[in-house]
Structure 1
Amino acid sequence: MEAFFRALLECSVGMSVVSLAYMAATPLLSKRYAATWLYYTWLAIVIGWLCPFRPHWEAALFSLKPDMPAVLVEPIEAGKRLMPMVVGQETGWGSPEALWQVAAGLWLIGMIVQLALHARRHWRFMRLVNRWSEEVTDPETADVFRAVKTEMKVGGQIHIRICQGITTPMLVGFFRPVILLPPVPFRSDELDFILRHELVHFKRNDLWYKAVVLLAAAVHWFNPVVYLMAKAIAAQGEIACDERVLAGMSLAQRKRYGETIIGVVRSRDGRQTSFSTNFYEGKKGMRTRLFSIMDTTKKKSGLVILGIVLIATIGTGGAFAVSSAGKPVESSIAPAVGPSTAEAGPTQSSEGAAREGGGISTSNGKDLTVWLAAEHENNFGQAAWAKGETVTWSVACEQVRELEIGIMSVSTEKVYSKRVATGTGTITITVPEDGDYRIYVKNHAKEVAKFLLKLDKDFGPLV
């Protein structure tokens, strides 16, 4: 969970920068590029919000979490295979592991609440629609609907109903789509424009698009930028829909379309669901939309813009990093001998070389959080066992790593261990002889491994 939440925070910060930059650039881009391309480029950004994992480079441009200092301990010189490890003592709820768990729990609760609120709002709205809507009985409205469907080559089952509880036209329903019209009279040309607009939303599956945006907003509910993004996407979606409806129309028809929209939104009351289309996105959005409606200049496709946004989205993993978990920072281990510890220099093992690349933290002496550098081994702790006793431990690794877990005889330095291919599982070892043994761990993978090791007894000081 910690690894996922770190990646989520990294994604949230990186995609905030991408989203804000794209929002700022949209007014300029809209003068040269088609609104539809700008609209679907937003979809690439939304997918970036929903996919927290990114490729990471050797070094990030920005670090969102400084390296945590380790508590250094004096290594035990018991033989050439006894290697020092960095040991940190956890402090219950104040430990980094516990804080990450609390943060992840709060995030999960917030996401569930967000989704539940939207689901409840949608359910209540649909209940209102089912109660107060009725089939269209006006033959003129039905004829216009059939003519527009035929001209736009709209297949599938989509219906049109009059709803007493709304004041603006909208499309609702993922599996049984329905165009809802308010109970007000429309002229045939106004109705033609309105139905074309909603049918474009239907053909482009914009309700599903809105659902994906809503999911991204729920996942990143703690980030205000995601709500700005959702609002910008809704406004761009209406502009893109207008562009499709007005393709090939004259200036006079564009003017009439704009007047139709203004007439519709004047009487709106804001009652709707998150899973519906909407004619109105605020005064500023309406002003931008009307300018776009009257713009008859030929626009380019936005393939280049889409490519740039994709590169920026994928590249956020190299620009932002919550931690350097992918490549641990190496440091020499000095003996803990009072205030001058930091000045003591690296400690030499019995082989004469500095041994690095391992760390342990625990709050109770039995539940250990261990990390090992690539292809590193280590041993720690000490306990006496009798011949025939069984050792049963569980191991759970954050990544898929091949680990070797077992015990090592202090007198003979012989290792009795088993491999866990995925890094997660249970091992059982029978003690071969009476004597003192140390815990033995080895990471056979070519990447760093961080795992939780649950012991069945307290091994005393883990040095």
Structure 2
Amino acid sequence: MMMGFVSFLFIASFAGTILWILQYSLKPVTQKYFSQTWHYYSSLIPVFFLLGGSEIMSRLVSFIPSASSGSNHIQAAGMIAEPYAQVSTIEQTAANVSFWITQRFDELRRFSSTKEFMLIATLIWTVGATVFIVVNIRKYRAFKRSIFRGSQVRHIVQCPVQVIASPHATTPLIMGFWNPIVVLPDISLSQKELAMILSHELVHLKRGDLFIKLIVFAANAIHWFNPAAYILNRQISMFCELSCDEQVVQHMDIEGRRSYGETLLSMLEYGVMKKNVVGTSGLCSPKEHMKRRLIHLMNVKKMNKPVMALSIVAAIALVGGGGAAAFAAGSASKNPTDQQVAGYNVTVEYPDGKLEAFDKDGNRVAAKPKESYAPKKLTTEEIVDRIKKHIEKGITVPQGYIDELPQQNLDAINESYRLKLQKSNRN
């Protein structure tokens, strides 16, 4: 179980990181043609993989080749045969990537204290994730207390949320998940500046950006050991502000955009929100990002239909790339390097002569003609390993495995899993 959890973390982190690297390498091109809103939402694709999407996509990719040949349930009885090596295009693409990962997992399997290692790794992950969450929650609570200290309610007509002015706010921001409020610095603002600020913060509220940031925070907490998760978190925060600016000024003329930029500059002179606090979204980014925001204000891209279609294709390609990476890592975690396909198959022969074959993990593969395969004797350790995999996956254990297993090993499995597997009467 711990091995499965650690493998899940590794595969999810690997796929998310590969996808983030791919996005980052394509950014010089995508920035020329695609909107900041596209960059914001497409940046969430790696988050999807970090939060378990890698397992979904890996299963989907592995399902594609088997779906083409139909699907049937595994029968109880079977024969042990050599593997049939049918590899799809996606599998071939992922093979080179998976080879290195496979070697690492093989080394881990050969490690004499694998269970102890997995236990230590799980404990370290648990402590790290707990510390990450506790530190950020304390930071949010401390920030919230400081904001409310000495604050005053501002009565703004036709504003859907409460607005307060705080002497401790260094920039306008929206804060809170269930009852969000807009926080303003305790300074004098003109009606025009106030309208610009509220427009920006209400776009965050309408889009649910705070909940998106919470999801990103969860991914960062789970993958606290991965530096890419921290960079991705900051990157999404930046794209969030850029896309919000884009939506605010998309219907403005040049003068309106200039006024909005001047509002950003005036808030920048007053102060910026230097820390990325969970549950908040501030108007002013760190100074190194403000120049980029001001440039984009005057060059907001309106994507036409061909570019929109291209952006959708690009997003689908990113998801596919992440799926291929997840499939490669998943395959490597299951397959030893000396068996690049899936190990021995269970081949079922029906009364009408039809043959069906399944690999050791229960995945359907193409069956060889009866005369082209020869049964191969498995070692006791190999049979025990395959029976345990079938039990843990909830797959019916082939009777051929049970009959080939020495009685003492069968008794040990029955005792461990509280089962009543029995040998057949046939000799």
Q: TM-score, normalising length from structure 2? A: 0.70
Equivalent in 271, 278, 301 of residue 274 of structure 1: 278
Query: Aligned pair 1:2/2:39, yes or no?
Result: no
Question: What's the counterpart of residue 355 of structure 1?
Answer: 377
Query: Aligned pair 1:220/2:229, yes or no?
Result: no
Query: Aligned pair 1:320/2:329, yes or no?
Result: yes
| Other structure's SS at 1:174 match | coil
Alignment CA distance shift 1:41-1:292 (3 Å): same
Question: What's the counterpart of residue 61 of structure 1?
Answer: 96
Query: Aligned pair 1:232/2:246, yes or no?
Result: no
Equivalent in 360, 368, 371 of residue 385 of structure 2: 371
Alignment CA distance shift 1:21-1:328 (3 Å): closer
Higher gyration radius (CA): 1
CA distance in 2, matches of 1:212, 1:70: 32
| Structure 2 unaligned spans of 5+ | 63-86, 344-373
1:181-220 residue CA offsets vs partner (Å, 9 max, x unmatched): 0101111111111000000000000000100111111111
CA distance in 1, matches of 2:317, 2:115: 38
User: Equivalences for 1:247-258 in 2 at 5 Å?
Assistant: 247-258=250-261
Question: What's the counterpart of residue 18 of structure 1?
Answer: 19
CA distance in 2, matches of 1:416, 1:167: 69
CA distance in 2, matches of 1:398, 1:23: 39
User: Equivalences for 1:104-253 in 2 at 5 Å?
Assistant: 104-136=122-154, 142-143=156-157, 146=158, 149=159, 158-253=161-256
- 1:427 is displaced (CA, Å) by 4.0
| Other structure's SS at 2:120 match | helix
Query: Is contact 1:357–1:373 with CA below 8 Å preserved after alignment?
Result: no
Query: Is contact 1:171–1:198 with CA below 8 Å preserved after alignment?
Result: yes
- 1:100 is displaced (CA, Å) by 1.6
CA distance in 1, matches of 2:241, 2:389: 55
Q: Which amino acid aligns with 1:283?
A: K
Q: Which has the higher contact order (CA 8 A, sep 6+)?
A: 2
1:104-132 residue CA offsets vs partner (Å, 9 max, x unmatched): 22112111111111111112222223333
| Other structure's SS at 1:359 match | helix
Alignment CA distance shift 1:98-1:107 (3 Å): same
Query: Aligned pair 1:399/2:393, yes or no?
Result: yes
Query: Is contact 1:16–1:225 with CA below 8 Å preserved after alignment?
Result: yes
- 1:38 is displaced (CA, Å) by 1.9
Query: Is contact 2:101–2:329 with CA below 8 Å preserved after alignment?
Result: yes
CA distance in 2, matches of 1:39, 1:409: 56
| Structure with the higher fraction of residues in helix conformation | 2
Query: Is contact 1:171–1:178 with CA below 8 Å preserved after alignment?
Result: yes
CA distance in 2, matches of 1:102, 1:399: 25
Alignment CA distance shift 1:188-1:355 (3 Å): same
Alignment CA distance shift 1:110-1:309 (3 Å): same
Query: Is contact 1:10–1:322 with CA below 8 Å preserved after alignment?
Result: no
CA distance in 2, matches of 1:136, 1:326: 63
User: Equivalences for 1:7-86 in 2 at 5 Å?
Assistant: 7-51=8-52, 52-53=54-55, 54-55=58-59, 57=62, 60-62=95-97, 63-66=100-103, 68=106
Stretch deviating more after TM superposition (310-319 or 207-216): 310-319
1:331-385 residue CA offsets vs partner (Å, 9 max, x unmatched): 99xxxxxxxxxxxxxxxxxxx975226527xxxxxxxx95127999xxxxxxxxx
Question: What's the counterpart of residue 285 of structure 1?
Answer: 289
| Other structure's SS at 1:166 match | coil
Query: Is contact 1:111–1:219 with CA below 8 Å preserved after alignment?
Result: yes
- 1:307 is displaced (CA, Å) by 1.3
1:43-67 residue CA offsets vs partner (Å, 9 max, x unmatched): 2221111114223655533232426
User: Equivalences for 1:440-459 in 2 at 5 Å?
Assistant: none
CA distance in 1, matches of 2:326, 2:332: 11
| Structure 1 unaligned spans of 5+ | 72-87, 150-156, 333-351, 361-368, 377-396, 430-439, 443-463
CA distance in 2, matches of 1:250, 1:221: 43
Query: Is contact 1:406–1:418 with CA below 8 Å preserved after alignment?
Result: no
Query: Is contact 1:358–1:372 with CA below 8 Å preserved after alignment?
Result: no
- 1:136 is displaced (CA, Å) by 1.2
Question: What's the counterpart of residue 448 of structure 1?
Answer: none
Query: Aligned pair 1:426/2:427, yes or no?
Result: no
Equivalent in 309, 314, 324 of residue 318 of structure 2: 309
Alignment CA distance shift 1:330-1:38 (3 Å): closer
Q: CA RMSD in A?
A: 3.8
| Other structure's SS at 2:385 match | strand
How many residue pairs match? The answer is 346
Alignment CA distance shift 1:296-1:359 (3 Å): same
Q: Which amino acid aligns with 1:178?
A: I
CA distance in 1, matches of 2:202, 2:136: 24
Query: Is contact 1:168–1:264 with CA below 8 Å preserved after alignment?
Result: yes
CA distance in 2, matches of 1:183, 1:414: 78
Query: Is contact 1:161–1:179 with CA below 8 Å preserved after alignment?
Result: yes
1:286-305 residue CA offsets vs partner (Å, 9 max, x unmatched): 22211110114532433222
Give percent identity, aligned residues only.
23
CA distance in 1, matches of 2:24, 2:302: 22
| Other structure's SS at 1:179 match | strand
